């Protein structure tokens, strides 16, 4: 049996034991006994690690009384792994700076110069390379992580890790709304601000804009709008529609309807007829009816929509009246024969 850093061979875990169940898990599949039971106790350890450094002792036991022996001096093993040091890095670095990580190899033959780099325990994209440096120019926030290196042939013997910390201003800032979907008047809404930054964001500020105007509304990562109400505004998009559409015949009835977008809704509608600079108010209400329309009703009409904020006029709508032709039949009777006789006798 072989033991590692155990002077008295106490315990039940060994580097090698003829009873395989006693071998320490960290040496399983790595330690191989190449000796025999007579005069050779050679032990082979594969994939050396820095933790394998220390004193190894061999012991054998027989079935005879007193048939036990331990090599008291043992064998000392020193494992030198990869040393990695950052070049020009002291603590955290700012995004955009230049950073170089250097991997130093001690007592390594020329055939063992290929390095493999690891980031967060996984092989890095710049993998088998003869260069002993890993350079970030410029360094990005995505380069943050734990880095280690190893000789390609002994990738299990990695260097001690180096943690690269990149600090950067907030980015990818966005706003989420809860609840999502349609917002019903009178409900409450929570706005939440999310941002990616290192160090984390310390202050959040909320603003409301309307064109070029900007108002500061609050602070904190979340902003509550309780009993939300839609914005109020004066009437706009005011227009006039005519029913029935198409040709207007004299003597028929026509209905003019005024439509407008406003909040609060329009409180008053007024109707006007124009002729050049002259303007006459013709009525009120959202609809205006002209019964038994005549040619005198022809002209341009518009409506005015008003709420508590202001009034807004529609564009004019021209009414053209088409007249009717009436044929009046006379009861006059003419006696052409008598008239012709009188003419000759005369």
Pick 133 or 43 by higher pLDDT: 43
Yes or no: say if 75 and 59 are a contact pair by the CB < 8 Å rule: no
- Distance between CA atoms of residues 81 and 53, nearest Å: 10
Instruction: Kindly state the average pLDDT of the residues 236-262.
Output: 92
Query: What percentage of the chain exceeds 90 in pLDDT?
Result: 34
Pick 7 or 193 by higher pLDDT: 193
Nearest to 74 by CA among 56, 52, 51: 56
What does the pLDDT read at residue 131? 63
Yes or no: say if 83 and 160 are a contact pair by the CB < 8 Å rule: yes
What does the pLDDT read at residue 13? 67
Least confident of 115-119, 178-182, 228-232, 276-280: 228-232
| 255-300 pLDDT tens trace | 999 999 999 999 999 999 998 888 999 999 999 999 988 888 889 9
Half-sphere exposure of residue 188, counting CA atoms within 13 Å on the CB side?
A: 5
Least confident of 37-46, 168-177, 262-271: 37-46
Residues 6+ apart with CB under 8 A from 70: 9, 57, 58, 59
What does the pLDDT read at residue 176? 95
Yes or no: say if 262 and 235 are a contact pair by the CB < 8 Å rule: yes
Instruction: Kindly state the average pLDDT of the residues 328-334.
Output: 42
Pick 7 or 161 by higher pLDDT: 161
Whether 134 shows a pLDDT value over 70: the answer reads yes
| 69-101 pLDDT tens trace | 777 788 888 776 555 544 446 568 999 998 888
Nearest to 52 by CA among 22, 18, 85, 75: 75
pLDDT band at 7 (very low <50, low <70, confident <90, very high): low
Least confident of 5-19, 68-82, 104-118, 160-174: 104-118
Instruction: Indicate the pairing of strand 205-210 with strand 213-219.
Output: antiparallel
What does the pLDDT read at residue 63? 78
């Amino acid at each position: 049996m072989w033991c590692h850093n155990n002077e008295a061979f106490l315990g039940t875990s060994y580097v090698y034991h003829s009873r395989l169940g006693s071998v320490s898990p960290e040496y399983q599949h790595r330690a191989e006994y190449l000796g025999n039971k007579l005069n050779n106790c050679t032990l082979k350890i594969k994939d050396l690690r820095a933790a394998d450094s220390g004193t190894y002792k061999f012991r054998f036991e027989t079935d005879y009384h007193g048939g036990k022996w331990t090599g008291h001096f043992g064998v000392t093993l020193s494992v030198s792994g990869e040393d990695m040091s950052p070049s020009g890095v002291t603590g955290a670095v700012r995004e955009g700076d230049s950073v170089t990580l250097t991997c130093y190899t001690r007592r390594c033959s020329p055939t063992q110069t290929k390095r493999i780099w690891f980031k967060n325990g996984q092989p890095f994209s710049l993998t088998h390379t003869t260069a002993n440096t890993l350079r970030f120019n410029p360094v990005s926030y995505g380069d943050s992580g734990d880095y280690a290196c190893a000789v390609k042939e002994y990738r299990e013997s990695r260097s001690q890790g180096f943690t690269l910390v990149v600090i950067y201003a907030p980015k990818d800032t966005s706003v989420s709304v809860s609840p999502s979907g349609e917002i019903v008047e009178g409900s409450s809404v929570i706005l939440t601000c999310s941002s990616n930054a290192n160090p984390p964001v310390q202050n959040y500020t909320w603003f409301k804009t309307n064109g070029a105007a900007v108002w500061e509304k609050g602070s904190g990562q979340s902003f509550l709008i309780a009993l939300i109400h839609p914005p109020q505004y004066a009437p706009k998009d005011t227009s006039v529609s005519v029913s029935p559409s198409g040709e207007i015949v004299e003597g028929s009835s026509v209905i003019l309807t005024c439509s407008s977008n406003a909040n609060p809704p329009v409180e008053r509608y007024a109707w006007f007829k124009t002729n050049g600079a002259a303007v006459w108010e013709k009525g009120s209400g959202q609809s205006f009816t002209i019964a038994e329309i005549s040619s005198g009703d022809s002209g341009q009409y518009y409506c005015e929509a008003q709420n508590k904020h202001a009034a807004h006029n529609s564009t004019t709508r021209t009414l053209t009246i088409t007249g009717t032709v009436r044929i009046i039949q006379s009861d006059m009777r003419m006696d052409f024969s008598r008239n012709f006789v009188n003419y000759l006798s005369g």
